[in-house]
Chain A
Amino acid sequence: MGIASLVLGIIAIVIGIVSAGLFGWLGAILAIIGIILGAVGRKNPEKSGISTAGLVCSIIGLILCLIFYLACAACVGGLGTL
């Protein structure tokens, strides 16, 4: 759980930095799954360290992806209703 969370978190950070405008939605979904896996992994005391790292990476990835994705969506247009 912890390793999967960390991997997904790192992928989300990379997407967030490199191409959040295009794949921000995908990065956000991966980051959310990473957060879930990290939180589940933290319940196991033996693997709570790597799970916490995965959780933190996923949260950072989610914030990056959402900020750039929403900013890009606002620029591109077509935001009919919210």
Chain B
Amino acid sequence: MIVIGGLIANIIAVAILKKKKMDINDFIILESFGLLGAFIGAKLLYILVSANDIQWSRITEWSYLKSIMQGGFVFYGGFIGGIIMSFIACRIFKINFLSYANEVVFLIPLAHAFGRVGCFMAGCCYGIPYDGPFSVVFPENSFAIHGAKLFPVQLFEAVGLVFVSIILLLSKKVLHNKYQIELYFIIYGCLRFVTEAYRYDAARGVFWGLSTSRWISILMIIIGLTFIIRKNPFHCTK
């Protein structure tokens, strides 16, 4: 689902950038650097939050290393890695990151929503035990707890992400907002902070009573607000 989401987002992005007569090659470079950073960041943060579960003495064994590489990813790690690598690309190739990001940032939550539907299908990132309306029971071959009624937090977040995408699109089209990426940081940070309360899957990496993702959510909101008040460091132009 995340691959389908990514493909749809890219098709829309290319159509928008062609209409605006912007350089597609620069966009491809930025996105590819971002994707590379996202892959590395998501894997690194997964290893970090599940460091206690990893048998470090077996890390040199090929089969064990392979199982870790086929293991999980943490979205926030990918997000941070993607931003850092995009920043590096923006410096190396002298690309104006914000001019591209402001046009297509609403597609990130859209692709992410597809990913969350994929999570629901696989049964990972599942919710807390819950016996109310819309509760779901996952089958035995899924990642979720079998036989228990759970809150469908994946779908809850997917719907939230679609709303985030619509809000960002409207703020661009109607309000001509110049702080699209900052707005995304703030809104998604709030959404994730709320949805984390309904997550029940293991490896949450809790620090001082809050999960890793909640700490990063707080950081994202602070960064978003700071970038609105002060000059954004991504303002690097040709």
Chain A residues near B (Cβ < 8 Å): 21-22, 25, 28-29, 32-33, 35-36, 38-40, 42-43, 55, 63, 66-67, 69-70, 72-74, 76-82
Contacts and interface: CB of A to CB of B under 8 A. Distances in A.
Nearest to B124: A79
Contacts of A76: 67, 70-71
B234 interface: no
B97 interface: no
Interface residues of B, number: 37
Given A40-B93, A78-B70, 10 more contacts: A25-B39, A39-B25, A39-B26, A40-B25, A66-B3, A74-B122, A80-B50, A80-B202, A81-B124, A82-B75
B122 A63 contact: no
Interface SS of B by simple majority: helix
Contacts of A36: 28-29, 32-33, 36
Contacts of B124: 79-82
Contact of B201 (A67, A72, A81): A81
A39 B3 contact: no
Interface centre among A36, A38, A73 (most CB of B within 10 A): A36
Given A66-B3, A67-B3, A79 B71 contact: yes
